[in-house]
Amino acid sequence: MVKKKKYNSTALMTAFILMATLLVTQAAFLLPAQAQQIKVVVNGKTLKEVKAVMINGRVLVPSRAVAEALNAKVNWNNQTKTATVKRDKTSLEVTINRQVAYLNDKPITLDVSAKLINNKLYLPLRLVSESLQAKVKWEAKDCMVTIIDNYCPWCIPLS
């Protein structure tokens, strides 16, 4: 004969409530860093199609979205996994998973390398923007990046 164990329903309910509280508390700490959408604004226009990500404290964005918003062109070399962002006389070359980019053939060391995410090339936002002479401002409380292009005569400068 097998004896069945009896469980105290109050103890089970208390354990369940503690587990649920722990899960909710952990989720609350994860939300600000990654789950909250990073808003990208270029020259006063919100880029709605941009799904920015934060990696090691750096915002990465799909290369074409921001570059084209700054009137630059992006070329992709699939053999070398290198993107070239060009505007006027400025040329920025960035290769996936490499810690060095080249601005007008001069090396720049990166904190975070370019990444392929869901078959899209993601570049460090500040690198692309500042290489094209734009100013970048991060607003942590709003989880927003504001970019003002120096070539934009109607734009309000960042303070």
Domains of the chain by start residue, with CATH: 53-134 (3.30.457.10)
Cβ neighbours of residue 44 closer than 8 Å, sequence gap 6 or more = 155, 156
* pTM (2 d.p.): 0.70
Report the relative pairing of strands 73-77 and 100-103 from DSSP bridges.
unpaired
Q: What is the pLDDT, as a whole number, of residue 23?
A: 53
Q: Are 105 and 122 in contact (CB under 8 A)?
A: no
Q: Residue 11 in 3-state DSSP?
A: helix
What does each of the 159 residues of the chain score in pLDDT, given as a tens digit? 666 555 566 765 665 565 655 554 444 444 444 456 899 999 889 988 788 899 998 999 988 888 999 999 999 999 999 999 999 999 999 999 999 999 999 999 999 999 999 888 999 999 999 999 999 999 988 899 999 987 655 555 554
Report the distance separating Cα 114 and Cα 66, nearest Å: 14
- Give the model's pLDDT for residue 6: 58
Residue whose C-alpha is closest to residue 148's, from 134, 128, 130: 134
Can you give the pLDDT at residue 51? 87
Rounded to whole angstroms, the Cα distance separating 73 from 52 reads 19
